[in-house]
Structure 1
Amino acid sequence: MTSFCSATVNTTALKHNLQVVRAAAPGSRVMAVIKANAYGHGIVPVARALASADALAVARLAEARQLRKAGIDSRVVLLEGVNLRAELEQAAQLSLDLVVHNDEQLRMLEDFEIGGAFSVWLKIDTGMNRLGITGANLGEFLHRLRNCGSVRGVPRLMSHLANADDREDAKTQSQMREFAAITDTLGCERTLANSGGLFGWRGSHYDWVRPGIALYGVTPFGCGTGADLGLRPAMRLNARIIALREVGKGESVGYGGNWCAPVPTRIAVAGIGYGDGYPRHLGNNAPVALRGRNAPLLGRVSMDMITLGLADHPDAAIGDEVTLWGEELPVEQVARLAGTIPYELLCGVTQRVDVRYVT
């Protein structure tokens, strides 16, 4: 055993998911979103696996620096833009595309001395109410960007869907109508669709799509799994059994004693816990895969360990591998049982988990 727990990332699955995305939006280019350490999968290996994407997107300047330091020369879009002059200078050195979403960012570009330094994506708020200019200010911003010396080419336009994970929600249609109404006649390339828009709202595809969670094999919707969309999970989270015990009738297991054995019970202790990113809020009987069948979680998830019931696994042994999520146990299912979303589980895998890459 080389480690108590590990995450295995399948780069072939990543490439497969990119192909599924292209098939879903054949008329669009793909901006692959790899922010937050590629949703916990490792930003540099994922960028290399998705090198055929038309662009990569990150949220923070540090993420872009990491890519360039690793020799990634793909087009990189900085989704939150920059807020300081020093950041603008670094973005120019790193040859990044910039998202502009407020007047302060535009004024920095207007004051920047290097001609044609940036391709720009102008973000319009159509209902998310986080970042973006209003439709009423679009004409002014476009005029200023087209006359800004540090901007090269025609600005592209973007917005973000707030509720695309719910295919019955009327807000998405409202955002799509607003985006179309204010951009249809402007002659600019556009992007609106996230993963939810990509698979749920064909009218949102435009010139570019911006998949995130779908690239990692996970559904963007509140029900089902990525497999329903033809996707393959890219991450499998595993741990090893490190101890076996016999628990007497009436004895409790773990912190707080919230599970007591109704009969003499054989249990396994696996070396993973919330210190590794496994969700503490999972309750008794949440499934963990062992030898092709599920074993129930018994007792609380602790920092370093979980305990499992072995009633259906009489041959379980120390060193056996258990799967916390992966192809045989979808992360979507685990997230719902934990009262959270798959994004949080994937992004929450901690640094002490040994990450391995396979093809």
Structure 2
Amino acid sequence: MKIAIIGTRGIPNYHGGFEQFAEYFSVYLAEKGHDVFTYNSMKHPYQENTYKGVHIIHCKDPEDKIGTPGQFIYDLNCILDARKRNFDIILQLGYTSSSIWGQLLPKNALIITNMDGLEWKRSKYAKPVQRFLKFAENLAIKSSDYLISDSIGIQNYLSNEYSVHSKYIAYGANIFDTPDEKVLEQYNVEKHRYNLLIARFEPENNLETILDGVALSEQKDVFLVVGKHDVNKFGAYLKEKYLNSKNIRFIGGIYNLEHLNNLRYYSNLYFHGHSVGGTNPSLLEAMACKTLIVAHDNEFNKAILKTNAFYFKTAHHVKEFLDGTKKSQHEDKALNCLYDVEQLFNWPLINKQYLDFFNECKK
């Protein structure tokens, strides 16, 4: 098949979850003998025309000059180029800035869209933006031949809200099996003597609820907060609020995957506060590091973690877990999470499920 992947900044991954998936899946398709094209922003650091057998199409992207509207122009440029290439399948990852161009998608290609999370529910967006995102969601459904949900919760939502079927295919992760305790020295922590939170500084990730619980807790082990706290007002607000909680350390973003995985692996409790969206990549990565997870109590997290984690709704719940829960007492939960990644969320399996679905759609 001749297959295109649109909707990302490009490969190899320098950006996020969809880019990581696009990299793994496109290389997998090329290895299977398919003619694969991914669309890259012209601003992407990788400027070659092929990557491990995958064709790279570089499209103009003015986001650095005009901000968010540039994303819409970049997606338009990708779609206009795709009209010239006679693809069998176009895999569209997300819809936020592409769905308004849905009528321009080539009619001779099957359009398969991964619907991402419930973007319109994110509180970081103003009400008019949330209304637009809900509208864009509807447009994406109408302009797609087939839909993919990376979470049972998203699949249920699409069925209930739009009466449409979507194929459930989760995200993937790689098992972390090369721990190095020396990494901890750079962060001035000791194994199993610190707790960890990794998240973007957005209200729906429940950072404030978690950190309120830390502040209430009688247990004063170091609590590391990993994420870019200096990019928005919410981050500045949280840093100010917990200024007197000396065990809370805001250490900024970490982009060294080996360091992140070691911090996950050696933590006592790993907090996952995400409450909007589908299968969150960072959750699977934590599971792949054999962490003991305390997750926000919602259907998205429970569909992945099942009984292999603890769940919180309030700051008091967080306090109770910090005061009374040790990883050494619950190794079974951490091992079950690791097993599920090996059996259900490994990249070879996820890639095969996508390709099998493509073949099913082409019949």
| Structure ranking higher in strand proportion | 1
Bigger helix fraction = 2
With the length of structure 1 as denominator, give the TM-score of the two structures: 0.33
* TM-score normalised by structure 2 residue count: 0.33
Larger RCO, structure (CA 8 Å, separation 6 or more): 1
Whose Rg is larger? 1
